[in-house]
Amino acid sequence: MNMTSVIEKVILLQNVDLFSEVPTEQLAYLAAIAESRRFDADDVIYRQDDPSDAMYLVLSGRVRLSRDGTEVTTAVPLQAFGTWALFDDEPRVATAVALQATEVLRIDRQDFVDVLADNVRVTQSILRTVSRRLRALGRVVRGPAEAS
């Protein structure tokens, strides 16, 4: 898959939960900073404890995420990984390795921060999504009766 069109990237970014509240026309700002990257089988995308600098969306192929040598999950097409790297610079908590020829969209944290600084609607939409996630997590941790 060769990603050249901003429109194609917008369509793909609609699959990322973090961007689910961002209006389609606003996703174009994020699509403009998303870069396509290719990895061969066994290529390391990033290592545990590396600086967090970008998030990724799998376009084709599969990516194994492991922590301390133990597989945590496998990211498949249209799944994002490394998402929290957009919000802080804490070291990576997992290693990401391509399991086969893989193509991803990569969004650099600094570029993302620049988009947020310049686009209030994008920022508000992403904050709504993060807030929704945190509320859902609170319901899971406390249980439905205590979550209100």
Q: What is the pLDDT of residue 1?
A: 47
Taking only the tens place, the pLDDT of each residue in 25-50 is 899 999 999 999 999 999 999 999 99
DSSP string, 36-53: EEEE-TT-EEE-TTSPP-
Q: What is the mean pLDDT of residues 132-148?
A: 68
The pTM of this model reads: 0.85
Please name the residue that has the structure tokens 């389609």.
24
Residue 115: φ, ψ to 5°: -60, -45
Tens of pLDDT, residue by residue over 48-92, are 999 999 999 999 999 999 999 999 999 999 999 999 899 888 999
Q: How many CB atoms lie under 10 A from the CB of residue 35?
A: 13
Give the count of beta carbons closer than 10 Å to the beta carbon of residue 148: 7
Q: Exposed e or buried b for every residue in 92-124, given b needs 16+ CB within 10 A?
A: bebbbbbbeebbbbbbbbebbeebbeebeebee
CB atoms closer than 10 angstroms to residue 4: 8
Residue 148 has pLDDT above 60, yes or no: no
